[in-house]
Amino acid sequence: MYSQGMNWQHCHRMAFVGLGDSYEQYYQAIRRCYRYGQTEVVQAHIVVSELETQIVDNVKRKESQANQITTELVAQMRRVREAVA
């Protein structure tokens, strides 16, 4: 519900009760706590049932892929920058 349009930099603890299949919504909800003025490490607690383990696994897979893409993109940008300089 709060992954859309609101900033929560005054908050640094959050809980998810259940998890949707969208990694983007999960990521965005957490990032809304990491806005200007946040002074604490954000702690996100996720409560899921055994029936939701496939969803959790899917979101973890998407998170891993997003991290890998970001790492590769940064490395590629460094290579391009070094080639130009």
Instruction: Reduce the DSSP state of residue 16 to 3 states and report it.
Output: strand
pLDDT at 6: 63
pLDDT at 29: 84
**pLDDT digits 0-9 by tens, 37-55:** 788 898 999 999 999 999 9
Cα gap 57→60, rounded to integer Å: 5
Q: Which residue has the higher pLDDT, 79 or 31?
A: 79
- pTM, full prediction: 0.73
At CA 30, angle to CA 75 and CA 53, rounded to 5? 90
Average pLDDT, stretch 48-69? 95
The residue among 16, 17, 20, 14 whose CA lies nearest residue 59 is: 20
pLDDT at 61: 96
Instruction: Reduce the DSSP state of residue 37 to 3 states and report it.
Output: coil
Non-local (6+) Cβ contacts of 8 within 8 A are: 2, 14, 32, 33, 35
**In the chain, where the domains are located:** 13-84
Cα gap 77→21, rounded to integer Å: 31
